């Protein structure tokens, strides 16, 4: 009985230490989440302003007789028959984030099966994050590029190389479509696996009614191009695509912190409940031990009387 009580006390001490650790991790994740959300929100206006600028340029070019030819010379706008697709997968480097990565893996596996069947020659994977790289590489999927070890608050320079490489490979025809796969951040409680076709950039993206109305109301500027419209768009279009990739990375990081915060809160609550039930078991065992000792003393006293 004494041995059983010692084991229960030891388990309670261990659970309390675990509870302290998970609660601390929850608080850290909550703090990082607030900062990550702010950075994700601050990154969006840059991409939006780039899109509006490109939209204004393209509206200004629509009256030119060589408009269609000019657009066809922009590789990021050209729609090609899709023979090979690149999936840029954004996951975490670390675990302890609940189902954050597992849900995304299931989503991408289902997407690959639906779109390509078993033909792995029709797609490649570009992995941002160690968890995604390791999961798909172990299963023999073609992971052609990777970036790992991103900080909790990535800078543009941290993802610039892989973003530029992905955009350049599309422009050179290495693949015909670039799809972003990541956990879209909706709230601290909701992160949904999402697949967004990034390239080719749809021309409709730069022809929204909202932009046109805004341009009319504000009085759109007339552009003079140096050295040429081609050269200007060849700079702005890749930069816009790279900005969207960076924005997705920041959003995914916010989702990672939110998922880890929720997982640690759940672990803390579970530890608290196990401590409660284990304490009840220990108290019952101690009461039983005391009752047994009293019974033995009383039995001994009765024996002495006899």
For domain 30-262, the CATH class is alpha beta
Residue 110 has pLDDT above 80, yes or no: yes
Residue 305 has pLDDT above 80, yes or no: no
* pLDDT cut 70: percent of the chain above it: 92
Task: For residues 180 and 54, give the distance between their C-alpha atoms in angstroms, rounded to a whole number.
Answer: 21
Residue 224 has pLDDT above 90, yes or no: no
Please give the pLDDT value at position 107.
Answer: 97
What is the arrangement of strands in the sheet containing 191-199, beginning at the earlier edge strand? Answer: 143-147, 123-128, 85-90, 177-185, 191-199
Task: Pick the range with the lowest mean pLDDT from 53-62, 181-190, 247-256.
Answer: 53-62
- Cβ contact 47:247 at 8 Å: yes
- Other CB atoms closer than 10 Å to residue 166's CB: what's the count? 26
Backbone phi, psi, residue 210, to 5°: -60, -45
Label residue 234 by pLDDT band (50, 70, 90).
confident
Instruction: Give the global pTM.
Output: 0.84
Task: Pick the range with the lowest mean pLDDT from 4-8, 30-34, 189-193, 259-263.
Answer: 4-8
What does the domain layout of the chain look like in residue ranges? Answer: 30-262
Please give the pLDDT value at position 254.
Answer: 95
Please give the pLDDT value at position 221.
Answer: 59
Task: For residues 42 and 38, give the distance between their C-alpha atoms in angstroms, rounded to a whole number.
Answer: 6
pLDDT tens string 82-104 = 999 999 999 999 999 999 999 99
What's the rounded mean pLDDT across residues 47-67?
83
* pLDDT cut 90: percent of the chain above it: 59
Please give the pLDDT value at position 282.
Answer: 86
Label residue 202 by pLDDT band (50, 70, 90).
confident
User: Within 13 A of 205's CA, how many CA atoms are on the CB side?
Assistant: 20
Please give the pLDDT value at position 66.
Answer: 81
Label residue 215 by pLDDT band (50, 70, 90).
very low
Strands 143-147 and 85-90 turn out to be: unpaired
Residue 283 has pLDDT above 70, yes or no: yes
Please give the pLDDT value at position 212.
Answer: 46
Please give the pLDDT value at position 71.
Answer: 80
Please give the pLDDT value at position 216.
Answer: 41
Which residues are 127's β-sheet partners? 89, 146
């Amino acid at each position: 009985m004494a041995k059983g009580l010692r084991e229960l006390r030891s388990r309670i001490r261990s659970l309390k230490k675990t509870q302290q650790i998970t609660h601390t991790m929850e608080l850290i994740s909550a703090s990082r989440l607030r900062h990550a959300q702010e950075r994700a929100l601050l990154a969006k206006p840059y991409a939006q302003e780039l899109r509006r600028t490109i939209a204004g340029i393209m509206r200004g070019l629509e009256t030119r007789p060589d408009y269609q030819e000019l657009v066809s010379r922009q590789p990021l706008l050209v729609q090609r028959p899709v023979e090979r697709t690149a999936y840029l997968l954004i996951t975490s480097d670390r675990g302890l984030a609940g189902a954050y990565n597992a849900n995304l893996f299931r989503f991408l596996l289902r997407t690959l099966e639906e779109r390509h069947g078993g033909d792995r020659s029709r797609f490649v994977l570009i992995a941002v994050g160690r968890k995604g790289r390791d999961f798909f590489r172990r299963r023999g999927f073609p992971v052609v590029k990777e970036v790992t070890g991103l900080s909790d608050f990535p800078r543009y320079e941290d993802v610039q190389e892989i973003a530029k490489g992905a955009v350049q490979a599309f422009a050179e025809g290495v693949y015909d479509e670039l799809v972003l796969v990541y956990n879209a951040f909706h709230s601290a409680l909701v992160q949904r696996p999402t697949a967004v076709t990034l390239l080719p950039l749809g021309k409709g993206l730069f022809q929204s009614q909202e932009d046109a109305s805004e341009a009319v109301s504000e009085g759109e500027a007339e552009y003079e191009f140096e050295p040429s419209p081609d050269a200007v768009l060849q700079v702005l279009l890749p930069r816009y695509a790279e900005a969207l990739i960076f924005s997705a990375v920041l959003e995914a990081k916010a989702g990672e912190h939110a998922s880890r915060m929720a997982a640690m809160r759940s672990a803390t609550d579970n530890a608290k409940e196990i401590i409660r039930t284990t304490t009840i078991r220990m108290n019952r065992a101690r009461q039983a031990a005391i009752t047994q000792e009293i019974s033995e003393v009383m039995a001994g006293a009765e024996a002495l009387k006899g």
